[in-house]
């Protein structure tokens, strides 16, 4: 039982604390930086794809943002699929009369994966850029993404997503996201980047593999399929997008339950990434993803084994610390749900516990419920 306690504890500490240290050190010594090569001729044609569902609050601003970018407008095609929207999304899109914008109004909510597969059938350009309806691109975002594809070995490029907090709320997703950005940057230097964030990434059209209709984390699976084809995945901090965080920890939890479901689904489809022979990507996948996905299970094992080991001063103290931490997190969650402000340190602890509890709920849904690709709109 002691072995179970210490092994579970070590894997949690390793994934969140030791892995970033090791990753940073390895990136410093084994970095694989590829210099950008200017395009010999003109910039290539690109297609921007958005799958939308009930986005009346932001779709107009999103289209206007895309039209204002510095990439030559005659070289961009915009494909937007409205997936059975029941609000004014379709009407707002219909008000645009722009030859570069092609809209598809699907009658039924089929799910994002199905919409993406359908839209990809209309893509004729060599490079495809995926983004979300509630994202805002910096003016040179597409220019930065596309620049990397002059290198024939590059199959996908992930931009940087900046999460901003428009007010003062207790959701620490932006803090956690900065931590994730650090890992992405270092993994990119080792050509070990894992997936992309759906807000801003690009791939070669020829490398797109249609994804199953019930896919939840489409951005992760699409780019991992590119990695499987042995193409390089680049992370570019200059290709910048912005997105607002969810207004509270409670709202963020809803999103993470769904993502958690998708993570375990992806795990069953990416067994090839557990092969140590693929090198750095195995190292990053196991350390960054697999151990994170199973951290809630490890936390349960730590608590249960700790209960069995009661009697020793060390284990008694650790158990007390765990109980206090969980009680504080429960209190923080309750306060957040009621709209009350909580101290930053409590908010961070609450976010961590809430995130892992959401993952555990996601695991339950994946294991015992029929996972569907249809979506429900969340705050982020």
Q: Average pLDDT of 348-369? A: 92
Quick one: DSSP state of residue 340? -
pLDDT over threshold 80, residue 32: no
Helix (H, G, I), strand (E, B) or coil at 242: strand
- Amino acid 205: pLDDT: 98
pLDDT over threshold 60, residue 167: no
CB of 188 closer than 8 Å to CB of 235: yes
Beta bridge partners of 137: 241
| Residue 171 vs residues 28, 250, 327, 339, 358: alpha-carbon distances, Å | 32, 8, 18, 11, 14
- Which residue range forms the structural domain that includes residue 35? 1-380
Element (H, E) at 6: helix 2-13
Helix/strand/coil percentages in the chain, nearest 5: 55, 15, 30
pLDDT over threshold 50, residue 380: no
Q: Per the structure, how many domains does the chain have?
A: 1
Q: Average pLDDT of 38-50? A: 85
Q: What is the pTM of this model?
A: 0.90
The CATH number assigned to the domain holding 127 equals 3.90.550.10
CB of 329 closer than 8 Å to CB of 337: no
pLDDT digits (tens, 9 = 90+) for 259-284: 999 999 999 999 999 999 999 999 99
- Amino acid 237: pLDDT: 92
Q: Average pLDDT of 369-378? A: 69
Among 305, 306, 302, 293, smallest CA distance to 356 is for 293
């Amino acid at each position: 039982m002691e072995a179970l306690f210490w092994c579970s504890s070590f894997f949690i500490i390793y994934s969140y604390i030791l892995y970033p240290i090791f990753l940073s050190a390895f990136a410093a010594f084994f970095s694989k930086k590829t210099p950008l090569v200017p395009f010999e001729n003109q910039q290539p044609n690109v297609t921007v794809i958005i799958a939308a569902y009930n986005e009346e609050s932001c779709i107009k601003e999103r289209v206007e943002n895309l039209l204002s970018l510095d990439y030559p407008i005659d070289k961009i095609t915009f494909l937007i699929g409205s997936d059975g929207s029941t609000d004014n999304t379709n009407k707002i899109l219909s008000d645009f009369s722009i030859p570069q914008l092609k809209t598809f109004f699907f009658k039924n909510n089929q799910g994002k994966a199905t919409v993406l597969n359908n839209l990809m059938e209309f893509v004729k350009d060599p490079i495809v850029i995926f983004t979300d309806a509630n994202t805002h691109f910096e003016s040179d975002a597409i220019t930065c993404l596309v620049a990397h594809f002059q290198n024939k070995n590059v199959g996908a490029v992930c931009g940087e997503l900046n999460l901003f907090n428009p007010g003062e709320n207790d959701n620490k997703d932006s803090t956690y996201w900065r931590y994730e950005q650090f890992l992405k940057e270092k993994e990119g230097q080792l050509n070990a980047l894992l997936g992309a964030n759906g807000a801003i990434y690009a791939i070669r059209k020829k490398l797109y593999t249609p994804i199953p209709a019930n896919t939840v984390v489409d951005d992760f699976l699409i780019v991992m399929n590119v990695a499987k084809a042995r193409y390089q995945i680049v992370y570019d901090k200059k290709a910048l997008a912005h997105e607002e965080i969810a207004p509270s920890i409670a709202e963020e939890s809803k999103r993470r339950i769904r993502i958690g479901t998708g993570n375990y689904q992806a795990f069953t489809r990416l067994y090839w990434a557990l092969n140590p022979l693929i090198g750095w990507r195995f190292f990053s996948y196991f350390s960054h993803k697999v151990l994170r996905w199973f951290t809630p299970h490890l936390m349960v094992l730590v608590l249960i084994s700790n209960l069995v080991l009661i009697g020793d001063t060390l284990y008694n103290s650790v158990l007390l610390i765990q109980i206090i931490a969980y009680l504080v997190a429960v209190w923080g969650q309750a306060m957040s749900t009621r709209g009350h402000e909580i101290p930053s340190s409590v908010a961070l602890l609450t976010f961590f516990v809430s995130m892992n509890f959401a993952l555990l709920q996601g695991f339950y849904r994946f294991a015992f419920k029929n996972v569907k690709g249809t979506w429900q709109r969340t705050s982020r």
